[in-house]
Amino acid sequence: MNIYQQEQIQALQMVRQHMDLLDTTENIGDFDVRAQTREYLAFRSDAETFFKRWFERTCSKNCYGSRLSACCTKDGILTFWADVVINAGQMEKDELDQLEMTITSPKNEYKCIYLTQKGCAWRIKPIICEMFLCSEAECSVFNANPEAETIRRELEERKKTFTWPDRLVLFEVLEKIFIDAEFDSPLMYMHKSPGLLRLIRQRKSAGR
Ligand code: SF4
């Protein structure tokens, strides 16, 4: 396994073994972890509906059908700790066992380790994948359907309310719960990326 695979499998195994941390955590200050997770899943459902309605045909024809799958690049997908936690909470045990096998023995050596014959192996795929649209697809859909571009902008704004730490957000809290329990992973970008850490410091010094 390369370093990317090792980081992914370690994160998934740590999360699986300690999902009870989430069951015992309801609130952090005013932040209701379960309510926020439900809201996030509702957002993801809306994002998926948007993709299916406006982009699925274009992407299937231009990319998946031709087996190009250009967006599912090898070891290029940044997965957040919260992506792993949320996805693990939505998959059954046997599916998660299968996901571990997918990480350790990927089917395609030139593509993302999670890309299988049936598509992406995640139930709730990484947020970066959910929100990614290539510029060709965007141009072709948005030029013909300006209303789709408006909905897309609204989804981008909703995404930030879970992932952009200029306020306390779900992606940060899900890391904090595990960090407080002395877990560590390179996937904890909210607490390791210099840019995101700066934002959190600014927020805290502004008393938010
Ligand atoms: S995680 Fe899934 S959607 Fe994202 S790049 Fe890999 S196979 Fe594609």
pLDDT per position as a tens digit, 118-168: 889 999 999 999 999 888 889 989 998 999 999 999 999 999 999 999 999
- Kindly state the percentage of the chain with pLDDT values over 70: 96
SS3 170: helix
> Where do the H-state alpha helices sit in 55-145?
56-59, 81-90, 93-104, 127-131, 135-144
CB 85 within 8 A of CB 174: yes
β-strand 119-120 against 31-32: which pairing, if any?
Answer: unpaired
Question: From atom 8 of ligand 1, which residue's Cα is the shortest distance away?
Answer: 72
**Ligand 1 mean position, distance from CA 65 (Å):** 16
Q: pLDDT tens digits, residue range 75-86?
A: 778 999 999 999
- Give which of 157, 135, 147 is closest to 58, Cα–Cα: 135
* Window from 31-35, 42-46, 72-76 with minimum mean pLDDT: 72-76
Instruction: Copy the structure tokens of residue 7.
Output: 């980081």
State the chain's mean pLDDT as an integer.
Answer: 91
* Window from 10-19, 102-111, 162-171 with minimum mean pLDDT: 102-111
**Ligand 1 mean position, distance from CA 16 (Å):** 20
Which value, to the nearest 10 degrees, does the dihedral of the CA atoms of residues 74, 40, 63, 154 take?
-120
Question: From atom 2 of ligand 1, which residue's Cα is the shortest distance away?
Answer: 120
Which atom of ligand 1 lies at the shortest distance from residue 73's CA? 5
Residue 88 CB: number of other CB atoms within 10 A? 22
- Give which of 168, 173, 177 is closest to 199, Cα–Cα: 168
Pocket of ligand 1 (CB under 6 A): 72, 77, 112, 114-115, 120, 122, 125-126, 129
Residue 105 CB: number of other CB atoms within 10 A? 10
Q: What's the pLDDT score for residue 104?
A: 94
Which atom of ligand 1 lies at the shortest distance from residue 113's CA? 6
Q: Looking at the predicted structure, is the pLDDT value of residue 70 above 70?
A: no
Q: Looking at the predicted structure, is the pLDDT value of residue 68 above 70?
A: no
**Ligand 1 mean position, distance from CA 45 (Å):** 17
Q: pTM, whole model, 2 decimals? A: 0.91
Question: From atom 4 of ligand 1, which residue's Cα is the shortest distance away?
Answer: 129
- Choosing from 80, 83, 112 the residue with most ligand 1 atoms within 8 A of its CB, the one to mutate for a pocket test is 112
Whole-angstrom distance, CA of residue 33 vs CA of residue 180: 15
Crossing angle for the helix pair 170-180 and 33-54, to the nearest 10 degrees? 130
Which atom of ligand 1 lies at the shortest distance from residue 112's CA? 6
Q: What's the pLDDT score for residue 66?
A: 60
With tokens 């997965």, the residue in question is 79
